[in-house]
Amino acid sequence: MRTINITEESILDLLVFRAKVYFELVKFRLSALVTFSAAFGFILGDSGVVFSWGNFIALIFGGFLISGASGAANEIWERDFDKLMKRTENRPLPLNQISLKEAYWFTTLIALAGIFILWIFTNPLTTALGVLSMILYVFVYTPLKRVGPIAVFVGAIPGAMPPLLGWTAATGAISHEALIIFGIQFIWQFPHFWAIAWVSDEDYKRAGFKLLPSGGKKDLNTAIQIMIYTLFLIPLGLLPTYFGLTGLNSGIVATICGVLFLAQTFSLMKDCSRKSALKIMFGSFLYLPIVQIAYLLDKI
């Protein structure tokens, strides 16, 4: 008989491997950014004398699990398309690092856990918004990616939901301040999504994804639309200051970031190159956290 030698080191390696698989399945980095935006909304909305640590921690864990479940469901849905794209071909399902059945069970369990945590420890409104965000992302945005650029509009709604969830977890209501921080992140989605779609155009075409506007072309019309939505961020970034949600300093930071972000779009309109689109993509990654941190520091 063959003897199988199982050592502590091999068990540890297996656990590390499984952790990496699950981290990839829940799109850990994206879910962490989503959770940060939710935390931003909570801190901005919390006006109590004593910070509500219980609600805050519940939002972090519940929000992360719902975001992770949405990402995992997206990977389940698109597993056959992910095999066709270089940027996604090394995900767990295309590589058969996890079975489809296990992925289904894992996704269902963390989704239910996230909903349960939000329901018990925050409030029904936050829970409902979390569920709505997950439904829109998985069952509407994901299939629409192969239909046309309307998917970007639909995807921008759950994409902008995290700060709104944070605000409602802290306050229990949707106010004009909540809609402002939702609106900033909603508009930001368009240059962000379109820059990614421009850079990944060849990959997306292999999978049949249609996210670019203007007939899906990498041309001046698409570049102008990216510029217009980026331009909207400048006045939107000043609204928290105008309505007294934050102070003047963050308004200045948001304006400077908005102008720098906008300047990148002029290069794209000039040369319509992948290099210029890549700069906009990285600019979008920087814009949102810098502006949100500025708002938080200004409030604190």
pLDDT tens digits, residue range 186-237? Answer: 999 999 999 999 999 999 999 999 999 977 889 999 999 999 999 999 999 9
pLDDT score of 15:
83
CA 251 to chain centroid, in Å, comes to 23
- Within 13 A of 97's CA, how many CA atoms are on the CB side? 19
Model confidence band, residue 1 (pLDDT cutoffs 50, 70, 90): very low
For residues 230 and 266, the answer to whether their CB atoms sit within 8 Å is: no
Classify residue 136 by its DSSP letter.
I
pLDDT tens for each residue of 242-270: 999 999 999 999 999 999 999 999 999 99
For residues 239 and 180, the answer to whether their CB atoms sit within 8 Å is: yes
How far is the C-alpha of 169 from the C-alpha of 162, rounded, in Å?
10
- What value does the mean pLDDT take over residues 96-123? 96
pLDDT score of 6:
61
Determine what percent of the chain falls in helix, strand and coil, rounding each to the nearest 5: 80, 0, 20
Predicted confidence (pLDDT) at residue 10 exceeds the cutoff of 60: yes
Residue 210: both structure tokens together:
């249609």
* Among the listed residues 251, 233, 236, 234, the one whose alpha carbon sits nearest the alpha carbon of residue 294: 251
Model confidence band, residue 92 (pLDDT cutoffs 50, 70, 90): very high
Q: What is the CA radius of gyration of the chain?
A: 21
pLDDT score of 145:
94
Residue-range domain boundaries for the chain: 10-173, 175-300
> What type of residue is 147?
V
- What value does the mean pLDDT take over residues 49-74? 93
Average pLDDT over the chain, rounded to an integer: 93
Backbone angles phi, psi at 253, to 5 degrees: -60, -45
Model confidence band, residue 176 (pLDDT cutoffs 50, 70, 90): very high
The superfamily in CATH containing domain 10-173 is: UbiA prenyltransferase (1.10.357.140)
Write down the H helix ranges in 8-52. 8-25, 28-45
Predicted confidence (pLDDT) at residue 4 exceeds the cutoff of 60: no
pLDDT tens for each residue of 133-171: 999 999 999 999 999 999 999 999 999 999 999 999 999
